[in-house]
Chain A
Amino acid sequence: MNFIGKGIPKIDGISIATGKPVYTEDLVMANALVVKILRSPHAFAKITSIDTAQAENLPGVACILTHRDVPKIRFTLAGQSYPEPSPYDRYILDEMVRYVGDEVAIIAAVDEKTAVKAMHLIKVEYEVFEPVLDFEKAEGHPSVVHPEDDLHCNFDIGLNKDKNIASSKYVEIGDVEEELKKCDVVVEETYYTQAQAHAMMETYRAFSYLDHSGRLVVVSSTQIPFHVRRQLARALQIPASRIRVVKPRIGGGFGGKQTGAVEVFAAIVTLKTGQPAKIIYDRKETFTCTTSRHAMRLKVRLGADLDGTIRALDIQGLSDTGAYGEHAPTVFSVVGEKTLPLYNKTKAVRFLGNAVYTNKMPAGALRGYGATQGTFALECTVNKLAQKLGMDPAEIRLKNLIRQGETSLPYQGKLLGSSTLDKCIETGKNLIGWQEKYPSQEVGSNKVRAVGMAVTMQGSGIAGIDTASAEIRLHDEGNYTLLIGSTDMGTGSDTILAQMAAEVLETSLENIIVNAADTDVSPYDPGSYASSTTYVTGMAVVRAAEDLKKQILEHGAKFLEISPAEVEFDGKTLQTLDGNKAIGLRELAPLLVLGTGKQQLVGTATYGSDVSPPPFIAGFAEVEVDKETGKVDLLDYVAVVDCGTVINSNLARIQVEGGIVQGIGMALYEDVRYDQKGNLLTNSFMQYKIPCRKDIGTVRVAFEESFEPTGPFGAKSIGEVVINTPAPAIAHAVFNAVGVQVTTLPITPEKVFMGMGMEKAK
């Protein structure tokens, strides 16, 4: 292998690191109108009047749009393959406003100051309703968040809008209640996970203009160009063929940019005025008016034999989707899908519950996509089982977890193609020093150190749905363009896909131009989400490269006047097996493209998988807890990863380190608070704390590679699974330190301190 497994630098690395203008805002034309949004100050209200006359008369204002000016067609901003499971429950602007920050009017002006001034001149009157703020009281609340008649679902997702239920799920395999009755021990606990913010460094932004043929061009920092094109076509009621979506470099996404947050606002201004328009959200808007992780309540019941064999698993969930249902049914389903298969000695498993509408910022896709929430609940419960039975938590997992070649109740007979999770646990134990440190040790001055652990799985793409295409074109100079529609948001996916193509074509990375993504040019790809790019797009790239290589051999053979079976290609030269005749690719390529061959070669492939092979991680945390204050310091985190074959060792490691730290943020710091009227209080980095360099201790990463038979070069995914273990592992370590089981994230000093008080009182 020349490229696979190597720590090759990102092809865009030097440019982005040294500040080159390659992001969306850097590309905006100078005369673009500035688009601003007037937002609702009320959590739930109906607009009874809007007076825009004064604002419209302000010099420099190009247009002001209200609910009277938009197509009355409901759509979803969720970036999902058609038919989207998310309900079509929003207009571009609606006379109902459903959370503090919901859009009331769109203002476009020549500059920012004028736009803001105009915004203040718009007079709005509201009829204010009692908002639904507590998601545990949403079902059956007297206020109905979506009373409209034209809300549409593409298929049955269990939506019951009169009861504020956006979607509903019930999966049971075996008889859970019956099995629980038979179990020697049943452990039960209810957990709460918060509405984490993505907090990518580049906030949401897009600009739009009409091109030479009058088509709408939208340039956006998005993970989902093709889905955005479809959303815009529906929302704006113009044919998709009249829309082009271009993605430049992206300054981080984490799933946030899998929802079309801003594109439609710029686009409608361009359509109405004919002028270029840009919209750039500031940090406050990004915190307040986009999407977050779905906050959830998860009640777990786990039944086991006395020897620790897990026999029954029951997860009853409630998910807060906020004001709109972006990703509501799918995030919720993933809670069960990525937890229940993990322990396969079960005789019955069940996952059920609802995602409910509330009058808060909508939830959406965020790295982990429900698996993060489910892992916290399940793994905390498994740790509790170990505690109850007096067993080592690592042993109890090794006893129960699914192994390579085995099946699990939710897999319905399908076999797990690859796993080294058992090795991950063993390696992780050694790295953290489990034997010496478990469970805890006093270190003097009221401080105690302890370790904790958790394991997790995710998927690689969405089985049966994600389908990506790739094209590779041979140019007259003998170099290639790799055309893909996936969206490298910093992960380095453009680089690893080029590595795969280079490996197959036996060429150098410099010889491959990567083009992504532009809906006019790129082959279809759902976009980079659901841990799909390495696995799904990667396989499309491998097959496209193989297709092209085959064509090169065939056409080379023609020029050598021999059958393709008697020619070999080493990436540079085509040579007959007997070594008598040869032609270089540099000579062959121009002959094909512009010479007598008269055929430019293009390798193509489309790939989708009917399985979603899970990557696995064993995570281990060591904490130091101050018994005087409840403060938790994370000293050390060890993550041992099975992502199949590692395609790029450096980029894979950074994915893990970054994901672990995002998980640490969720575990310890990232708190989301609303006031009693539904105003988000945590709307800046002053109030919403993400980890800084001093907050994380040491994060150490190791790989235990498996070989996934359905993946490119044996690879699985890595992008999401990395965020799942910190919360349960740290919660476990805190429990081992001071006996306090924090079940509501984040694990703040306050909760630990109060918990210690309760322990003493007992």
Chain B
Amino acid sequence: MQIEAIINNKKVAWEIENDELLADTLRAKGLLSIRQGCDTSCCGLCTVWIEGKPTLSCTTLSFRINGKNVTTIEGIQEEAAAFAQVLVAEGADQCGFCSPGFIMTVLAMKNELKNPAEEEIIHYLTGNLCRCTGYMGQLRAVKKYLGVE
């Protein structure tokens, strides 16, 4: 089937299979920041924004983006790099495989919550797993980035 969507501010018309998942579609179209750490909606690696809301692309059927705005980290490199600088300065990038999904969630949180408390930050990000860092360094980076204590 054919869908039309706006991907990273560009109009596209894509031919997709009915049962295709968004994570696969995006990767096939060269958006290689999309990673999959699981297929059970547990890890958060494949997070993209649909209409600005963080969404797991591995469990979203591609046809659902028809007529919608989709943002991947490729589309917001400047904002992503601004947070990445802080994350990397903290040493909390580690293997980096979960970073794109994590950063998409952090940036969505920034848009959604004003001056979040530590508990709110942890709650918002809890669906993003990381096996390398133990989360503490990520939390330090997020707090620095948001300018909250």
Contacts and interface: CB of A to CB of B under 8 A. Distances in A.
Contacts of B5: none
A18 B45 contact: no
Given A685-B40, A686-B42, A694-B122, A252 B131 contact: yes
A26 B134 contact: no
Nearest to B19: A113
B7 interface: no
Interface string A7-19: 1011011111111
A202 B93 contact: no
B9 interface: no
Interface string B58-99: 000000000000001110010011001101111111111111
Contact of A17 (B36, B37, B93, B127): B93
A753 interface: no
Contacts of A654: 90-92, 94, 132-134, 137
A693 B91 contact: no
Contacts of B145: none
Interface in A2-55: 7, 9-10, 12-21, 23, 25-26
Contact of A251 (B81, B85, B95, B129): B95
Interface in B1-58: 32-33, 35-40, 42-43, 45
Contact of B95 (A18, A202, A661): A202
Contacts of A249: 95-96
Chain A contact-residue range equals 35 or more
Nearest to A21: B32
A490 interface: yes
A659 B97 CA distance: 17
Contacts of A691: 135
A19 B74 contact: yes
Interface string A455-491: 0000000000000000000000000000000000111
Interface in A640-699: 648, 650-651, 653-654, 657-662, 684-686, 690-694, 696, 698-699
Interface string B92-115: 111111111001000000000000
Nearest to A665: B131
B130 A201 contact: yes
A250 interface: yes
Given A16-B95, A283-B40, A490-B96, A661 B135 contact: yes
A341 interface: no
Interface in B110-149: 122-123, 125-137, 139
B95 A648 contact: no
Given A18-B99, A21-B32, A201 B135 contact: no
A492 interface: yes
Interface string A163-199: 0000000000000000000000000000000000011
A290 interface: no
A201 B98 CA distance: 7
Contacts of B91: 7, 9-10, 492, 648, 650-651, 653-654
A725 interface: no
A19 B33 contact: yes
A658 B99 CA distance: 15
A650 B35 contact: no
A365 to B, nearest CB: 16
B95 A201 contact: yes
Contacts of A661: 133-136
Contact of A200 (B36, B74, B131, B133): B131
Contacts of B100: 17-19
Contacts of B37: 201-203, 283
B133 A657 contact: yes
B137 to A, nearest CB: 5
Contacts of A26: 32
A492 B134 CA distance: 15
Given A657-B133, A686-B40, A693 B126 contact: yes
Contacts of A17: 80, 84, 87-88, 93, 96, 99-100, 103
Contacts of A696: 134-136
A684 B40 contact: yes
Contacts of A18: 33, 73, 77, 80-81, 84, 99-100, 103
B147 to A, nearest CB: 20
A641 B90 CA distance: 19
A376 interface: no
A252 B132 contact: yes
Nearest to A198: B131
9 contacts: A7-B89, A13-B84, A13-B88, A17-B103, A19-B74, A252-B95, A282-B39, A692-B126, A693-B126
Given A18-B77, A684-B38, 20 more contacts: A9-B88, A14-B88, A16-B93, A16-B97, A18-B33, A18-B81, A19-B32, A19-B33, A19-B73, A26-B32, A198-B131, A201-B35, A201-B129, A201-B131, A650-B137, A654-B92, A658-B131, A658-B132, A685-B40, A685-B129
Return the 4 tightest CB-CB contacts between A and B, nearest first: A19-B33, A490-B95, A16-B96, A251-B97
